Amino acid sequence: MTNITLADYAGQIESAGRLLSTARRILFITGAGLSADSGLPTYRGVGGLYEGGLTDIGLPIEEAMSGAMFQLRPDITWRYLSQIESSCRGAHPNAGHYAIARLEAMHGAVTVLTQNVDGFHLDAGSRDVIEMHGTLRRLRCVDCGRSRHVNNYAGLSIPPDCPHCGGMLRPDVVLFGESLPDQAMHRFEQVLAAGPDMIVSVGTGSSFPYIAGPTLWAIEHGIPTIEINPGGTPLSDSVMFRFRLRAAEVLPALLDAGGYSLDSGRDARG
């Protein structure tokens, strides 16, 4: 992709924006590419925190940050969790996050399913957020189960101890090889059962079945789908609208095309 700009998609932006304005229940599915616009590296890939998939001690990132490794060598897993948190520190939500939050505030029936653990959707003002992979900001004791919220890991010993029982804390995130949280999955199933009539995939490679599944279902049933991703995914050739640009560019433009500008005064709809 070279020299493609928002202007090249002007017609598609207008068409997608009109559909956005008529959708009753909108599901956003977001991945690391959205937070990349805030300056956060993705785990792998060009510009990634672990280029080539290997950490600085020679382990694949999937192994270093696995549930099995945490059981055997929590210091190794914490080493890379703290590196990821450090890369988030000082970063903020971008125009893409704020556009989604604005749409929820003005439209009403907007749900975000995110793979990201940075908390930026909530920071931007979104409320109906399913953090499928958890959040770095909530630490949970593996012994007593108590949780605490932290803004960042500055000043923490790594690995940190539980202030209540002295056990080890871990971020309340899904490590490689671990099951997805029941509560998040239940909420996700409720959203799908309600029948979203537009699905917007933003900055995710759609490599996990539960991430790609809703979009594939929508495609099969003729429900409008939008993919925003500078790169390609397995769904790119099948979605109704594909924008190979940064989410921070496309999402505000889609909202404006749909009449959801900041001064539109549009009321929230159920």
Instruction: Give the Cα-Cα-Cα angle 263, 264, 268 (nearest 5 degrees).
Output: 115
Contact 41, 48 (CB under 8 A): yes
Mode of pairing for the β-strands spanning 110-114 and 134-141? unpaired
Secondary structure E strands in 133-269? 134-141, 147-149, 169-173, 198-202, 225-228, 241-243
Contact 134, 171 (CB under 8 A): yes
* Half-sphere exposure of residue 3: CA atoms within 13 angstroms, side-chain side: 0
Catalytic site residue from 97, 107, 121, 133: 133
**Measured between alpha carbons, how far is 193 from 176 in angstroms, rounded to an integer?**
28
Mode of pairing for the β-strands spanning 198-202 and 225-228? parallel
Structure tokens at 248: 């921070």
Contact 243, 83 (CB under 8 A): no
Contact 54, 138 (CB under 8 A): no
In the residue annotation, 133 being an active-site residue is answered as yes
Which residues are known to be catalytic? 133
